[in-house]
Structure 1
């Protein structure tokens, strides 16, 4: 029995890492299409669903729910009910399109539920970061293979895993600065991977928020007495960033142009027009238009582009269009839960977590819809929310018992 539990724990770890690592279904990664079954469904999605079913059927007794957890569990349950209702309603309107569109939302709910029902498999925030770091390194290797081996040099190769840099890189730099033993090999590799991905993916949103978060890390360190070793580490980070910028300027000046100008001149105005159009639709029909509803982008001149898509670059709007105001509120409340609970104990680390998580939500919830359609990003965020809900009662007890501790809980 113990062996079986250990095997399941390893399976959860590796399915998490592989989901972060493999950009299955990405338009730039067609050589990974053999792992895609149909539409947005991949082999990893099927394995994750089977493991979730195993955990559900393995529950021999009801889960113990503490009062502090009850409100969040009820919110999660209500979200599931709204999702099921929306699927049923949508199928009568959009037929098969509704099922295809709803699958991403189903996976988000699975990512949320899985850590909540895992029995005797407590997972911490630091474990999630370690798993994400391993997957991030693998993702970088795959991106390099795609970039070099598939004649993509000079082109922009995307990947939703890169958005996780917003939380991962500041944490790894913080870990490097805090590590007194000098054993920072994995953290340094992850930072190097970020510099490589920044050049290849050219994702200006993630690059901007990573830069702000890293400055926040340095500000936290500078508030205390800084040793010579920490000064050397900070200097090393600054040199690495300088070399990366130098490489961007000399090898790919269009990246700098994208960051400085914000990409195409009409991009911002086009986004504003797109958001305004769909906000008006939500006001006209607060109950939503169902899964399968086709969305479009608009130009700065307010012309509708012919491209048809299930999501636009704002998850806030997408939730409201698909499931109405209620679905929008429920998913938003769930996504904000990690701010309420305490996943880390150290005060500085806690501040860093809240800062970088805020930036991650901004990048993936407000400026894009990767919290819905980006499998790696959705896994990280909703898994984190599920762990927060599961551990919330325990953390509140710690807060009461150890309220006089030197750390803030």
Structure 2
């Protein structure tokens, strides 16, 4: 038997890690699974369905993350609220074109020559506008009130969700395959923002990532369970495959909700509660990012919020009992294997309505030749599943 520093056992392969024979406990605290909607009624428009011109809940810029140019306006248009409290009359009542821009008009197709001047600003950062401009003052009060109400609503919703899932068990499951700095940041973020247990499988201590995991496990023995194997990842020249690793973690887990997470991301807030709440409420799985196929199934586009056809596996919560048997255990690489898992699940898949507080650490790239070959292999399986559905 090999022993790593600090007396942690190293198993020879992923398959050699023993698993209890009783692994599929009934999901006692989860509601019944809702049936998936017909494929032609799911998700609707391509894209996130959110206002992506701003940031996420953690204040990060999210406009470039969708891969689509999405323009969503809030508070304006034919269905926008009218008769704002305190808004003076007798001034220009043309619809506002943006926050704090009452009466401003675009000077070209989709562009404005000097938006600061239109609001009474010179462009000088120290200039505060005309203090006597009642319209501007009323606009600021209105915008501030809306922002406060949204924060209040978000806080109430989050607290209700936490109460609703207080007895639901969930585990966040990680494959450790290198990038030790990201492992540290990712695991620490889970410990900071959630109460979930962490199940982590280290593959070959690539670049010292396994030792980073072990140090964290020693610090937080009540929160982290680690397994280490000598096998290195298939996508980095070894023999441990994505499907075998994910299947082992699934069977080692005893929670009602099994959470797939990649160490290429870190939480910037409680991103877990909305996912677990959606699963407890009837979804078979919920994720940070949804996906919808093109009519011929050859391309997938980001979709959500709401019911979607598939979920991406960088952060995805699934009923553990439903995932056993649905996870593609023969997948050697994770690219598009999350789509295979999604299509094999029986029930509704959803993306929460609010953007989850998650930040990208870095993309964990593999060789382009390997990525393209294995992703294509998985995608061929996805096409077969789509044609059969």
Superposition TM-score, scaled by structure 2 size: 0.24
Which is helix-richer, 1 or 2?
1
> Which structure's residues are more often strand, by fraction?
2
| Structure of higher RCO (CA pairs closer than 8 Å, 6+ residues apart) | 1
> TM-score w.r.t. structure 1 length?
0.23
Which structure: larger Rg? 2
